[in-house]
Amino acid sequence: MEEIERRLERRLEDTKRQVQKEILEKIEGLEHQFHRTSIADSGDCSTSPATPLQHSSLMHTERSVHKMLKPPTYDGQSSWSMYRRQFEAAAKANGWTPQEMATSLVISLRGQALEILQSIPEEQQNDYDRIVGALEIRYGHKYLRQVYQSQIKSRQQRSNESLQEYEADIERLIHLAYPQAPKEFLEQIGIQTFIDGLVDTEMQQALRLGRHTTISDALVTALEFKAAKEASRSYKSRIL
- The packing angle between helices 201-209 and 183-196, to 10°, is 140
111/4 Cα distance (integer angstroms): 12
Task: Assess contact for 218 and 194: CB atoms under 8 A.
Answer: yes
Which range is least confidently modeled, 62-71, 75-84, 132-141, 179-188? 62-71
**60 and 76, same domain (yes or no):** no
**225 and 206, same domain (yes or no):** yes
CATH code assigned at 186: 1.10.1200
Tally the domains of the chain. 3
**179 and 230, same domain (yes or no):** yes
The pTM score is: 0.51
**155 and 220, same domain (yes or no):** yes
**75 and 62, same domain (yes or no):** no
**169 and 231, same domain (yes or no):** yes
Q: pLDDT digit string (tens) for 10-30?
A: 776 776 667 556 655 655 554
Q: pLDDT digit string (tens) for 97-124?
A: 999 999 999 999 999 999 999 999 989 9
- pLDDT at residue 138 greater than cutoff 60: yes
**151 and 234, same domain (yes or no):** yes
Tell me what pLDDT residue 145 has. 84
Which of 36, 67, 98 corresponds to the end of one domain? 67
**132 and 167, same domain (yes or no):** no
Which of 67, 98, 113 corresponds to the end of one domain? 67
Which of 13, 43, 67 corresponds to the end of one domain? 67
Tell me what pLDDT residue 202 has. 96
Tell me what pLDDT residue 68 has. 83
Strands (E), 85-191: none
Tell me what pLDDT residue 5 has. 62
Planar angle of CA 154, 155, 156, nearest 5 degrees: 115
21/58 Cα distance (integer angstroms): 11
**78 and 54, same domain (yes or no):** no
Task: Assess contact for 208 and 189: CB atoms under 8 A.
Answer: no
**157 and 179, same domain (yes or no):** yes
pLDDT band at 41 (very low <50, low <70, confident <90, very high): very low
**4 and 81, same domain (yes or no):** no
On the CB side of 54, CA atoms within 13 Å amount to: 12
Task: Assess contact for 195 and 204: CB atoms under 8 A.
Answer: yes
Eight-state DSSP code of residue 73: P
Strands (E), the chain: none
Sign of CA dihedral 26, 31, 34, 36: negative
Tell me what pLDDT residue 42 has. 46
**93 and 52, same domain (yes or no):** no
Q: Find the domain containing 170 and state its range.
A: 146-239
216/15 Cα distance (integer angstroms): 50
